[in-house]
Amino acid sequence: MIIKEIKHFHLFGAIGGGAKGFNRGKARLGNMVAKFRCIGSVDVDAAANRDFERLVGVKATTLDMFDRDQYVDFNDRQPPPGWREATTADIKRAAGGESPNIIFLSAPCKGFSGLLAENKSKTAKYQALNRLTLRGIWLALEAFADDPAELIVFENVPRIQTRGRHLLDQIVQLLQRYGYAVAETTHDCGELGGLAQSRKRFLLVARHQEKVPPFLYEPEKKTLKSVGSILERMPLPGDLSTSPMHRIPSLQWKTWVRLAFVEAGGDWRSLNKLAVENGNLRDYLIVPESHGGFLGVRDWNEPMGTVTSRGTPTCGAFSIADPRAPADALQYQQYGVRKWDEPTGTVTGQRSPIQGGISVADPRAYGGDTHKNVYRVTPWEERAGTVTAGHGPSSGGGCVADPRHTGPEKHSNEFHVTPWRDTASAVTSAHGSGQCVADPRPGWDRRGNNLMVMNWDNPSHTVIAGGKGVQGGWMSVADPRTGMNRGKGDNYLTGGHYGVIPWDSPSGAVSSSAGLDNGRWSVADRRVDLMLPAADKKLITVIRSLDGTWHRPFTTLELAALQSLIEPEEHFELAGLSDSDWRERIGNAVPPDAAEAIAGVMGVTLLLAWSGETFVLSSLPIWVQPVAIAISLAQVE
C-alpha cells in the first residue's frame, strides 16, 4: 500500500468540527490510500481555539483577520494599542510553515443568515463581517502563492448567494486569477454525513487547473436520521454526571408558555390560532397542578387536576410541537419543536427556542405518574388493573362499578318524609328510619312550643315538669353573649379548632388526627403571587404537552451530538462556563461527519490527479455528488 498524505488547513476554523471530520476522511484508489493531516487553524476566538486543540490535537492560532476599516466598522471604535492587521506571513506561520493540499474556509455567516433581519444585515457592522469572506480568500491565496493548494473549499449559508452576491463575484474572479476553476453548489450537511439534522449550506469549490485535471465519478448520498435516534442514546436532560453541558437552559415563563402552544413540527405561526382577549388566552386557563406534571398544561379534553394550596411554578409542565414544517426551512423556525422521529433543523449559534428549531418533543416519561389510580373505579365491562398489595380504594384501581343490584335497596327510606295524604310505609321496629310525616296542621304553639327559642329581651314561658329538652317546649334562648372569653376548663380553650397559623409563626405539634376542624391546621399563606410566575421570570420546568410529550429546548450537549461533534454516549466539554458561548461555538462548527464526506470526495480527487488519471466512473462509497461535479467543472467568465 502506498500512503499519500493530504494536508489540510483551516481559516475561521472555530472549534474544529471541519478539521476533525477531515482528519477522519477516507479515500482509496487502487493501492493508494489517503491519510489526512491537519496542519493548523486560524480563528479570532481564543476559547474556540482551545476547543480546537482539544478536539483536533493541533495548535490553533488566535488572529484577528479584520483590516483596520473592517475593525472600526464592526466595533465602532479604533483598535487598541498594539493591534495590527493580519498578514500573509501570519497565515503561513499558523500553518507551521507547510503548504496545504486543501484549504477549508467557513467564514462568519451571521450577516448572510436568514435569522438576521434584512435591514440589520445592511448595517456597517455586518457588512464589515461579510467582507471577511473576500479578505480570508485573499490572505490564503497570497500566503501559499508559491505552492498553491490543489483544492479550496469555501463553506457558508445558502443566502450568501443573494445577500453576498457582489462578494462572491469578486471571490470567483480572484480565484480565477490565481489559476483556479471555480464552481458554486449547495448541499445538505445532513445528507452528506447522515446526520439527524437538516443543514443546508453553500459550497464554493476551487480546483487548481494545473495541479488537478478535470474528471467525473458517481458518488452516493446518505439518508437523514431521526432526532430521537440520537437523543435516546443519551440520558435525560439534567443528568450532569455526563457533562455540565447537559442541563436544560433557564427560560422566561412566557417562552415556556409560547412553546406549549406551538404545534408539532411547526413554529411561532401556531400561536396565531390562539384567541387572545385583553392580553389573556380566551380558551385556555393555565394553573399550577399537583401530582400530574409540574407546571402542566392539561389536555383540552381532560379534566383539570386538583387545585391545591401547594401549586407553585415548580409543580407543572408546559411546551408543544408543530407539524407544519416549511420545506428546507427547519433552521429558521421560531419556537420550532422537532418531532422525536424526524431530523432536527440546522444547529446554529443562536441559543434559545425563539431563534430556531431547537426544542424537541421528548416521549420519554420524565418520572412516573403519581396517584393516577387513586380512588379509581373500574367499569364492569373492562379489565381490572394489576392486583397489587394496596389494601384500599386510595391505593389503586381497587373498586368496580357493579351493575348487579340484588336484594332490597339499602337506606331507601332514610330521612323519608311521608306526605300527609299518602299511606304510611310498613311499620317496622326501626325507630328513626322512614317514620316522619309532612303535617299540614299549623301552630307549633299548640304542640307545646317544641324547639322554640326564647328572645333574650322577653320573659320566659312557664317552666314545666315535662320539659326534657329542646323538643319539650320553650327550653332554648337566643343568648347575645359571645362567650369567646374562654376560661380554664373550657373544652375549646386551647383546641384551636379551625385555627389559622400566621406565616411567620411556628406550627404546633403535628398529630395523627390533624384536621382543619380539630386544631390549628391551616396557614395564612402569603405566597399568592407565586402561584404563577411573572412573564419574564426565568425558570427550568418539565413540560408534558398536549400530545403527551415533554417539549423542551435541546441541551447544549445534545446540540453537539446532533452536529456529530461527539457520539451521544461520549463525555464532552468545551472551554468556559457559558451555555450561550458553548451554543454559539457549536452552531458555528462544521459537522465532522459532513466534513468527513467532503474530505473523502476530495481525497479521491487528489489521488486521481497524483496517479495521472483524468476520468473515472466508479461506485466508491463516497458522498456529495454536487461537490464531485463542482470539482470536475471548469467554469469561465
CA dihedral (174, 177, 183, 188) in degrees, to 10, reads -40
Extended beta strands in 14-64, E state: 28-29, 32-43, 60-62
* Exposure of 452 in the CB half-sphere (CA atoms within 13 A): 18
Residue 325 carries which side chain, given as an amino acid letter?
A
From residue 132, alpha-carbon distances to 23, 57, 421, 520, 527 in Å are 26, 26, 103, 72, 54
Cβ(267)–Cβ(333) below 8 Å: yes
What pLDDT does 587 receive?
A: 87
Cα–Cα dist 596/195, whole Å: 12
The residue among 410, 409, 414, 408 whose CA lies nearest residue 434 is: 414
Cα–Cα dist 133/40, whole Å: 19
Cα–Cα dist 290/531, whole Å: 12
What pLDDT does 530 receive?
A: 47
* Exposure of 120 in the CB half-sphere (CA atoms within 13 A): 8
What pLDDT does 637 receive?
A: 38
What pLDDT does 80 receive?
A: 93
What pLDDT does 56 receive?
A: 95
Cell 455567516: give the residue: 109
Rounded to 5°, angle at Cα 229 from 225 and 234 = 140
Cβ(214)–Cβ(614) below 8 Å: yes
What pLDDT does 114 receive?
A: 83
Rounded to 5°, angle at Cα 503 from 500 and 508 = 55
Q: What letter would DSSP give residue 537?
A: -
- The H or E element containing residue 186 is strand 180-188
What pLDDT does 54 receive?
A: 93
Cell numbers found for residue 70: 473592517
Over residues 152-190, the pLDDT tens digits come to: 999 999 999 999 999 999 999 999 999 998 888 888 888
The residue among 490, 494, 524 whose CA lies nearest residue 508 is: 494
- The H or E element containing residue 618 is none
Cα–Cα dist 99/148, whole Å: 8
Cα–Cα dist 321/268, whole Å: 10
Cβ(423)–Cβ(446) below 8 Å: no
Interacting residues of 303 by C-beta distance below 8 A, sequence separation 6+: none
CA dihedral (143, 148, 153, 159) in degrees, to 10, reads 60
* Other Cβ atoms within 10 Å of 623 Cβ, number: 23
Cell 427550568: give the residue: 540
Cell numbers found for residue 192: 452528506
Cα–Cα dist 204/635, whole Å: 12
What pLDDT does 414 receive?
A: 63
Residue 216 carries which side chain, given as an amino acid letter?
L
What pLDDT does 623 receive?
A: 33
* Other Cβ atoms within 10 Å of 12 Cβ, number: 25
What pLDDT does 167 receive?
A: 95
What pLDDT does 512 receive?
A: 66
Query: Which residues, in sequence order, are bridge partners of residue 185?
Result: 203
- The H or E element containing residue 8 is strand 2-11
Interacting residues of 464 by C-beta distance below 8 A, sequence separation 6+: 472, 473
* Other Cβ atoms within 10 Å of 585 Cβ, number: 27
What pLDDT does 20 receive?
A: 95
Over residues 235-282, the pLDDT tens digits come to: 888 877 778 888 888 888 788 777 777 777 777 787 888 898 887 888
Ranges of the chain whose pLDDT falls below 50: 216-219, 290-292, 310-325, 444-446, 529-530, 617, 619-625, 634-637
Domain 2-225+590-632 indexed as CATH 3.90.1720.10 = no
Cβ(111)–Cβ(126) below 8 Å: yes
DSSP output for 282-294: SS------SSSSB
* pTM score: 0.62
Average pLDDT score over the chain: 77
Cα–Cα dist 189/172, whole Å: 23
User: In 3-state terms, what secondary structure has residue 43?
Assistant: strand
Please list, residue by residue across 588-612, b when 16 or more beta carbons sit within 10 angstroms of its beta carbon and e when fewer do: bbbbbbbbbbbbbbbbbbbbbbbee
What pLDDT does 471 receive?
A: 62
What pLDDT does 448 receive?
A: 58
Pairing of strands 337-338, 359-362: parallel
Q: Where are the domains of the chain?
A: 2-225+590-632, 248-366+531-554
